[in-house]
Structure 1
Amino acid sequence: MSESDDTLDRFGGWAGVASVVLTNAAIAGATLASPSFAWTDHALSNLGQPGDPVATPVTTLLFDGGLVLGGLVGLLFSYTLWVESANLAERLAALPLCVALLGMVGVGVFPYAQPLHGPAAITLYLASMVTMALYAVGNALAGAIGRAAGTVALVALHVGVWWWWLSGGGLSRGGLAVPELFGSLLFSAWVLWTAHWHLRGGRAGGHDARLQR
């Protein structure tokens, strides 16, 4: 690997960290700026819907803009996963990661109540789980059993949260922000954990981790 390639890999790792910080700071800021947002009554997307009672120009800018910016920045992280993969499964995980991040961008571009908002949100959550599960398979094949087990636990918890929510009344009941937040935090935790692995952990430098072609 050339020095420029190594620099770009590290840049991609830090882009993953930046994406998490941007999106979560934007969501937190939007909830605090809202005059009436309640976790038990609303969806997070209410914050980005112009004209919604809980939304203001500030919340829509923070929420929609934060998701778009965070998703676009996060795409650079997929490059690191692609080039620093140890096997085909790890490499392929970069593809659903891109899909998940584009879904995040779509949630911001198409505010709540627009026809494409729902598909974008579903894409974000489902593709994020596929990303983690596929990367866990690759980690296990590469001998990183602890990482694989931890990632599977995150996926199982993510699925469990949505199963619990849907079994209690479906998507139409108030408080959708609760499972949305848990899903976002679980995915964010995985991105930070994986970025650290590539920046400071066992994959730092990545010379021996790259897929042999």
Structure 2
Amino acid sequence: MIHQNPWFSFTDNALSDMGSLKNPARWWFNGFLMVYALITLVPSIAAFRNGLSYLMPAAAIFLFLVGVFPEEKALHAPSAVLFYLLALTDIAIIGIKLWRSGVKFGYLWSALAVLTFFAMLYLTRVFKGLAIPELVGAATILAWFAYIGLLLLKGFKL
């Protein structure tokens, strides 16, 4: 993505600036988001079926909508905010559920989700752009997917 958008700055831009209607290379970013969202929908549904998710399938749909609606469109911002809110809330809820079911460090995922949310809010005041706060949230969500994927591969169910 960055190669297609050499003007992009992590401190001055939002990630969605790469998908702006003003950017002739927007299809790289928006297309990637939509494909990635569809790919994440599969493990999200598997996690849901195994009691390891409540909100992640909806979060994946909102991520898809972030790619459908560039930042100039009215539905872009609500879709982006709902993606992060739903994903981090799901991590917090399932972390508690894991802990209550005997997974020793499940609660740490809940704490990380809440910490990530507040770190994202704080970082929006530190940087002109939103890319760094967005990447902090994305890193937590990706780590969660890796963890849940390992649980699913082991046949874990709640």
What's the Cα RMSD here? 1.8
Could you say which residue in structure 2 is the equivalent of 1:196? 150
Task: Confirm or deny: 8 A CA contact 2:59 2:87 kept in the other structure.
Answer: yes
The one of 111, 117, 140 aligned to 1:153: 111
Cα distance in 1 for partners of 2:49, 2:56 equals 14
Task: Confirm or deny: 8 A CA contact 1:64 1:108 kept in the other structure.
Answer: yes
Runs of 4+ aligned structure 1 residues displaced above 4 Å come to none
Written as runs of structure 1 = structure 2, the 5 A alignment for 1:120-199 is: 120-146=79-105, 148-166=106-124, 168=125, 174-199=128-153
TM-score using structure 1 length: 0.68
Written as runs of structure 1 = structure 2, the 5 A alignment for 1:1-213 is: 30-51=1-22, 55-57=23-25, 60-85=26-51, 90=52, 93-94=53-54, 96-146=55-105, 148-166=106-124, 168=125, 174-199=128-153, 204-206=154-156, 209=157
Q: Percent identity?
A: 27
TM-score using structure 2 length: 0.90
Q: Which runs of 5+ in 2 are unaligned?
A: none
Cα distance in 1 for partners of 2:41, 2:64 equals 10
Cα distance in 2 for partners of 1:65, 1:127 equals 22
| Larger Rg belongs to | 1
Q: Which runs of 5+ in 1 are unaligned?
A: 1-29
Task: Confirm or deny: 8 A CA contact 1:34 1:56 kept in the other structure.
Answer: no
